[in-house]
Structure 1
Amino acid sequence: MNLDLMLDDLEELVVCESFSADHEALARSAALVADLGFRRLGARPETIVVDGVPHVRWTFGTPRVLLVGHHDTVWPIGTLREHPWSLENGIARGPGVFDMKAGLVQMFHALACLPSPEGVAVLITGDEEVGSTTSRALIEESARGCAAAFVLEASADGGALKTARKGTSDYRVTVHGKAAHAGLEPEKGANAGIELAHQILMLSTMGDGQTTVTPTMLSGGTTVNTVPALAGVSVDVRVPSLAQQDRVDRLVRTLTPRLSGTRLEISGGPNRPPLEEASSARLFELACGIAKDLDMEPLRGVAVGGASDGNFTAGIGCPTLDGLGAVGGGAHAPNEHVLVAEMPARTGLLAELIASVLKGDTR
């Protein structure tokens, strides 16, 4: 494994900023990803633009293995001036280096290790950080019929693989009330703020064990002396199973107003289905065996609350193993970094995983 070449590729990707909300930046990033893939794989991809967001896909023969990644980041354009690319003492830094541009580099170099990429599809999306709204259909289409999906998201702490991810739902609960002068005749109004407080308290009771229901962004009112006619709250839901996702959805949709003169409007719903441990169990066992053969440290698997595009591949029934990307830390934070010494071993692990699935080895 040529680590120097991998680091050259990584620097090239990191200095090409790719904020999810900037379509022009995403277009530049997608072009670079396509070119880098061509250099490493010898094949041009198709670039699929949906609502202005570019996604890049390679398909080699009839795919049995899908490799999934994303080239967008959470970092606004210009962040590179504050947190520039650097490589010091075996640590690479820069916006998006850990989440997940190092994973893309490892993906390309793992495929380049194989005698042939025949039987592999690669999908690199441009909107994972904002919910994969434009790429979900592509992800699910690409995963159907595959024996395995390997997701190159960054590892969990200490290099652990992600064997389960919670599903996500997003709601907006809006209260419509009636405005009135807060000093002269408040009794003629219907206070949307007070009604919203009742609803937030009700929402806070819907969690159950690992299921979390969290009211987040609040809005309401117009002036300090007006009974608010409108108020709302965004709600973040994380669930370990489809049954819990359905349970919470039913409860949210049965919310009813408490105050006379108010009404509720509920929008949103389930976004990503959960990646349950049953989806990753066989592939994780396979990975552990390969790691032992490669004299790597024993692998660990963990369940995490954050979602990824692996939720979609698992949701349509494709066995999925996540967290195969970089080892490091600081995702979405100024201290984002990658331990470069781990990159060759992780690349070798991925290459052997792909080869094993392609030849039908489930150990």
Structure 2
Amino acid sequence: MSLLFSPLTLRGTTFRNRVWVSPMCQYSSTDGRPTDWHLVHLGALAQGGAGLVMTEATAVVPEGRISPLDAGIWNDEQAADYERIVDFVRGQGAVPGIQLAHAGRKASTRAPWLGRGYVPVAEGGWETVGPSPVGYADWPGPRELTSDELTAMPGRWALAARRALEAGFEVAEIHAAHGYLLHQFLSPLTNRRTDAWGGNLAGRSRLLLDVVDAVRDVWPEDRPLFARVSATDWVEGGLDVDDVASVAERLAQRGVDLVDVSSGGNSPDQEISSGPGYQVPFATRIKNASGLLVGTVGLITEPRQAEKILQDGEADVVFLARELLRNPHWPQYAAAELGAEVYWPDQYLRARP
């Protein structure tokens, strides 16, 4: 029997299969509010048979957006706009999930098709914040967050989680990867602090763990909580998989149910050695160290490749991103190849193999 298309239950939520949608920024929001684009984009992925449909990185505060066009959930209007999207995704049998995020020093940037780069305040951008005044590439350095701001920060995540709950999301994921704020605190490349939020790994992980505690306190006991991490900075002297495995052990103790394992994104000097499934060993290392379930990502494109990862016990679920942009119906295609059953909308049954 296919493991890829077997159900998985976490707390009170059952996922129909283990093909899950990675968060993918769409740069299509207005004032942080999701639009018809998000309904069609996420709805199509649910129609295509995925087990979990995760939103893009959704900012917990306005200055936490990656770009002025990114989604947010810092007010009630944004949460209300998500309700119809959540209802449609659930109506197709998929679990709706939201990734809660703060971009830190990598905020206030342009959409990729607008040339990336920093958006100055005069052009609609804003001052960025971070653990230390260390800029990314040639972008302006962020303002260093004060101890009072850091003490208050977990509460902002908790408020966002409450709104996500009211909108109907069943899974929340805390974004601590790809060079965004919580990753910036974890990495010695970007965290030069000497106070309680810096120094050794215990200090650098404090903000992440405080955020997890705050979100878990408001997130219902019967709903899963995930964390996304970058297992390595791919830079000498940066964060490495042993550090992240240690942090994952702490996450397990605080009620995180699954770690979504990616890598990189914190330094323009990263030297990535990529290839099909190149990030799977990171997920396996963190799974073995923490005892947590793990999801893996990265150049996973073929059904039998994904199935083998699970059959070999290297990960528990597979997150897909670009492959689902190319083919939102990849789960249906994969199920046919693996001889498994998967959801098809009634309206599409005449196309079922």
TM-score exceeds 0.5: no
More strand by share: 1
Structure with bigger RCO (C-alpha 8 Å, 6+ apart)? 1
Give the alignment's TM-score, normalised by structure 1. 0.26
The TM-score with structure 2 as length reference comes to 0.27
**Larger-gyration structure (1/2):** 1
